[in-house]
Structure formats: structure tokens, C-alpha cells
Amino acid sequence: MHNRYISLFIPNLDGGGAERVMLHLAEGFANRGFKVDLVVAQAQGAYLSKIPETIRLVNLDAKPPIILSKTLALKQYLKREQPAFLISTLDILSAATWARRLAGEDTSTQIIMCVQTNLSQQFNDRHSTLMRKFKWSAVQHFYPWADAIVTASAGIAHDLEKNARISMQQMNIIHNPVVTPDFNQKAQENVVHPWFSPGQPPVLLGVGRIVKQKDFTTLIEAFALVRRRHPARLMILGDVDPREPQVKPDLELLIDKFKLKDDIEFLGFVENPYAYMAKANVFVLSSIYEGFGNVVAEAIATGTPVVSTDCESGPAEILDNGQYGTLVPVGDCKAMADAIVKTLNQPLDPDLLKQRSQSFTIDCIVHQYLEVLNNLRSIQHPTAGAV
């Protein structure tokens, strides 16, 4: 076994936050001289073209039934490749721990389960009562098979403790790496859009997939209230989720109702959202729930002030309970509008926000992951030395 060989396992490379986190982590490990595999159940998604040359993509090419197919393929991968560690995310049914168990003594790879979202909120959002019980049961029984569990926020850890009876002592809270070495360069790139021309009204920005979870309804309602008191425009970046195709048409009906069609624009998936964040006057997160809220950390890294719902979980941790941005109750459009107007009139110091964002650099977060991995190695193989 190669002690400096780390694999990261994820279903696919769709354009979501967890996928971006895995790419950032992979890049961070590779930059520190590790051999890194990015293992995907299916090689598809918007980030497929974003994999650096330093990282090997391994496609398990899972076929239906996906859960069984990817687990068996992952078992074969572990037996064949023998990475020292496998970090798995978006893995509710624990394919990674099952794969390692099925491989038996043919592999000594250590498994780290990385939980990126608030599971109770996600399960309530997507599943029937029966399916929720089944999934919590799977998490409760199979996550402890992992050698370590990492959660992207304290909120996620508390949720797991409460609903899966996994003790806080078994979990490591490590925030997500969002500030890349080229972050500032990307943030300074030019954006060709008339709304960013000199003399135009301030721009509010929302970023995220067009899904119920992001609650753009409340953001649009808040924007309608803001417009009564302050000139402004609203821009929303993010693609439509094929599982929730009705969300966008419903939002468009709401925009028509408020007669705001000329002042709200959906731009779809944008290659470089940081440039938009840097030029916006206020970044607004309206989510009902998050795991961490990567976009909040990204926004403050550009120096743009933030108004966010105090949702489970993550934003309050990023903003240090309101010290680095304003937190408002979930679904409260009036409180959101008040906070936006106040922020437009009295924005926080950009340097203060950028300073806070240094807690979320790839280097800082990779260091914390390596501490977890080193600890595992010293427990499991006292003579193996640090990774």
C-alpha cells in the first residue's frame, strides 16, 4: 500500500457544491504531492472538464441498479489499486464502507465518510416517511463502519448525533475548501453585462440550483419589498434541476405578478460565478437548508457583503453568528428585505470579509483533513509513519 495515495469517491460530477468541494480537495492533495484518484460511479456532469491533469479520473461506469453496481465496482477498485484512504461523499447508503467490507482482507484502505448536507432537512425535502426511516437506519448502521466521519459543519454533526445516534466524538468537523489559489484572479475577471455598467442601480445576487431548497420565492418576494424603498436589480445564477422542473416556471409567474420582469434575470449555470459575486452589491442566500453554504464563504472571499437565512446548517458558522454578515429567519421576506436595504446603505468592510474567508482556503482545509488521516494511520499502523 502506497501511504501517499488518496482516492475521493463521488456519484458523478454534476455542477453542485459537494462535487466542487471534492475537486478542490483532490487538487489540494495533489498539490501536496499525493497520488490522487477521483473515483466516480458515472463519468458525467458539468465539472468533468474541470479535472486537473494531476488527478486521475476513475470511472466505475455503474449501471442500474446503480447502488449495487457501484458498490461491487468499488470493491474491485479497492482490491486492485489499494489506496491508503478513500474519502466518500454523497454516499447515503454507504457504498464505500460496504465495498471495503466485501473486499475483506484483500484491502486495508481506510474509509472516511464525508457528509456535505443536513440529512434530516434533505430527507424531509425529498422522501416519504418510510424512505426517511430507511435512510436514517442505513446511516445509523453503516456510517460507523467508516474509520472516520467528517462533516462540513457543526450543524450537520449535531443532526447526525440526534437522528443517527452517532456521537460527536466519532465526528470531525471540517468546513469546506472554497478559496482556491486562483480565486482572486477569477474574481477579478471581467463580466460583460449592462447591469454592471457605471451609474446602474445596485445588483443583488443569488447563486444556486433552481430547486425548492434554495427558496428563491422568498428572495423574489424580498426583492419586491426592497424595490419599494431602494432602486436595485436581482440576478440569479444556477441551472434548473431536472428533478424539479416546475420550480422555475413558478418563479417566473411570481416575477410577472410583481411586474419585475425587467429587473430580475436568470443566467443559468455560469462558469465563473466569483466574478459576478465580486461585482454584486449584496449576495443573498435564501435557502431553507444547506450543508455548509459554500456560496456564502465564496461571496465573503470576494469582499461582497452577505445577507443569509439562518438555516441549518453552515451560514451561521461561516458568518460567525452575524459578525461577518446578516442572518435572517428562513422564509421571512420582510426581514430579508430589511437586511438587504440596511446592507446596501451600510456595507461591511470588504477587507474584514476577505480576512474571514482565509479560514476556508484549500490549504487550510487540506491541512485539517491530513490531521484526521495522520491520526488514523497512527492508530491503525503505528509503524507506517505520517502521510
* Torsion over CA: 105, 110, 114, 119 (sign): positive
Determine the pLDDT at residue 210: 95
CA angle 319, 159, 247 (to 5 degrees): 70
Same domain, 235 and 339: yes
Owner of C-alpha cell 428533478 = 243
Same domain, 241 and 169: no
Contacts 24+ apart (CB under 8 A), 243-249: 243/211, 244/210, 244/211, 244/212, 247/210, 247/211, 247/212, 247/216, 248/210
Angle between helices 294-301 and 17-31 (to 10 degrees): 60
Same domain, 123 and 42: yes
SS (H, E, C) 67-130: HHHHHHHHHHHHHHHCEEEEEEECCCCCHHHHHHHHHHHHCCCEEEEEECCCHHHHHHHHCCHH
User: How big, in percent rounded to 5, are the helix, strand and coil portions of the chain?
Assistant: 50, 20, 35
Which domain range does residue 172 map to? 2-177+361-380
Domain annotation covers residue 129: yes
Same domain, 31 and 167: yes
Same domain, 201 and 287: yes
Domain annotation covers residue 386: no
Q: How far is CA 66 from the centre of its chain?
A: 23
Same domain, 128 and 271: no
Determine the pLDDT at residue 382: 38
pLDDT values of the chain reduced to their tens digit, one per residue, 387 residues: 467 999 999 999 987 788 989 999 999 999 999 999 999 999 998 889 989 999 999 999 999 999 999 999 999 999 999 999 999 999 999 999 999 999 999 999 999 999 999 999 999 888 999 999 999 999 999 999 999 999 999 999 999 999 999 999 999 999 999 999 999 999 999 999 999 999 999 999 999 999 999 999 999 999 999 999 999 999 999 999 888 999 999 999 999 999 999 999 999 989 899 999 999 999 999 999 999 999 999 999 999 999 999 999 999 999 999 999 999 999 999 999 999 999 999 999 999 999 999 999 999 999 999 999 999 986 654 334 456
Contact 22, 55 (CB under 8 A): no
Same domain, 91 and 141: yes
Cα–Cα distance for residue pair 344/25, rounded to 1 Å:
34
Same domain, 208 and 324: yes
Domain annotation covers residue 8: yes
Same domain, 138 and 13: yes
Same domain, 121 and 212: no
Determine the pLDDT at residue 379: 61
Domain annotation covers residue 387: no
Q: Total domain count for the chain?
A: 2
Determine the pLDDT at residue 280: 98
CATH, residue 128: 3.40.50.2000
Same domain, 246 and 157: no
Domain annotation covers residue 354: yes
Domain annotation covers residue 191: yes
Same domain, 17 and 161: yes
Q: Is the pTM of this model over 0.85?
A: yes
Alpha helices in the chain (DSSP H): 17-31, 66-81, 95-103, 119-126, 129-142, 154-164, 183-187, 216-229, 247-257, 273-279, 294-301, 315-318, 333-345, 350-357, 362-380
